[in-house]
Structures are given as C-alpha cells and as structure tokens.
Amino acid sequence: MTGTEKSRQPTGAKPEGEPGVEIVFPPDQRVHIEDTSTFPVRRIGRLEMTFPNKKVYSGTGTLIDDYHVLTAAHNLWGKELGGWATGVSFTPAQNGPNDAPYGIGWAKRLDVPEEYRTLAPPSPLLTPGGVVVDYTQYVYDFGLITLDRAFDGTEIGLFAFDDGALLADPVSIIGYPGDKPTGTMWGETGRIGSLAEEFLFYKIDTYKGQSGSSLLRSRQGAVYSAGVHVAGSETLDTNFAVRLNQDNIDQILAWM
C-alpha cells in the first residue's frame, strides 16, 4: 500500500442463476439467521450509505473491535456516486426492517486505499445489469469505518491464512442480501474454490447488500475475517473477495 485517503463525516430480486453483482447459484442455499444475538453474528451489521447523488444504498460490515467496521471500499466511495458517502449508519445484529437490538452507530471517519480511488472501478452499486466484468479492478476494494460510538463485545479478528488453511476448511459469508426481506440476516457456509495472492473465489450464494461481508473462519477457538466479499464475476462465474493478506491487514491496522 502506498497511501490512504480519509473522509470525516457524521432493491429488486433477479431470477436465480442470472449473473449479478453478487451471484446466487441455484439452488439458493442461504439460511435465515433468526437469532442475531449470538456470537459471531451479533458483530455483523447492516450498512446504509447516502452518497452525494442523494441515493441510499445498503451493504454489510463486520465489527473488528468496538469502534471499527470492516467493509468493502465501494460501500464508502464511488466515482459515479460523487465520491465519499456523506452519511453511513451501522446497525449490528439487525433483525428486521425497524429492528436495532444494540442501537445504531454513525461513521465519523471513512478510510479506503488510495489505490482504489486512483483505479476508480465501476461501482458495484451501479454496475448495469449487476455484472462485474473485470474483477482485477477491485484488488483494493476494502475499507474501514470508524464509528461515533462503541459496541462492546468479543472481537472478530483479522488473520492472513495461508493457502492450505483457506482451502482445507469452510468459510461463512453472512450479511443482508437485498433479495430477502429488508433488514434480515442470511448466510451460507461453503468452501473456497480457488485463490490468488489478492483474491478468494467461491460459489457461496450472495446477493446485493452483502457487499462488504467478511469471509469468517475459525482458528483455535476464535473467529477471524479472512477476506472481504466484493461481488460476482460474470467472466469467471464465481463470487469473489479481496483476500486479507498481510499487506491488507497492515493497512487496516494503520487506519485504526
């Protein structure tokens, strides 16, 4: 990483199997998380982001300590959206359209890699037809929200798993897909199909609104984020995440 830019500030369904920003591979195997009060799901929350274009979008984020939420960079900044989100709320463990069991936090600072802003890839929030064509443009699609309040609880850590560990055991992707009832949490556990130094690829079902979800993996009794879910690739017919390698983790820690 060469630098960072900072900002400080207070859907309809598609047919199953049709390529989208996040792809559902039929049959849909996502499970509704009905009890959001247990760990680790209570550390996962729904984002609402307002951008300078005056539109509101939704995403998913993960508390990695009491004040910081890991998510996708495109949930925080987009060239076609007018730049930085002007308002971002985070509702951990949301379990319905008006449910906020632990309250709501607001972003007071947003961080994304400078390289993401330089590349300025098409925002997955706006991509026509919901298709991401060139996944390599999203190599820096991760970001961090600093909240205006604390949410106390057990941490979901960051860990740079090696190739063997990532391929050996399943990961879970849990979030707030836009093709399900508003504010409800859904997830699926599956295996990573292939990987690269910067990306993880898998056919775990996701949909718009789950952008920014962590790929959760257990290690020695603790739960860690191994990557940040970004989108689906029409070219590769797979979903993909930015891998949390050591460089990316170092950047995230520098923002905290």
What string of DSSP letters covers 32-74? E---TTSTTGGGEEEEEEE-TTS-EEEEEEEESSSSEEEE-GG
Q: What is the pTM of this model?
A: 0.91
pLDDT per residue of the chain (256 residues) written in tens, 0 to 9: 333 333 333 333 333 334 444 678 888 889 999 999 999 999 999 999 999 999 999 999 999 999 999 999 999 999 999 999 999 999 999 999 999 999 999 999 999 999 999 999 999 998 754 558 899 999 999 999 999 999 999 999 999 999 999 999 999 999 999 999 999 999 999 999 999 999 999 999 999 899 999 999 999 999 999 999 999 988 888 999 999 999 999 999 999 9
Do 230 and 141 meet the contact criterion of CB atoms below 8 Å apart?
yes
Q: For residues 44 and 127, what is the distance between their CA atoms, to the nearest angstrom?
A: 25
Domains of the chain plus CATH, in order, are 4-9+25-255 (2.40.10.120)
Return d(Cα 118, Cα 114) in angstroms, integer. 6
Residue 74 structure tokens:
């495109």
Per-residue pLDDT at 64: 98
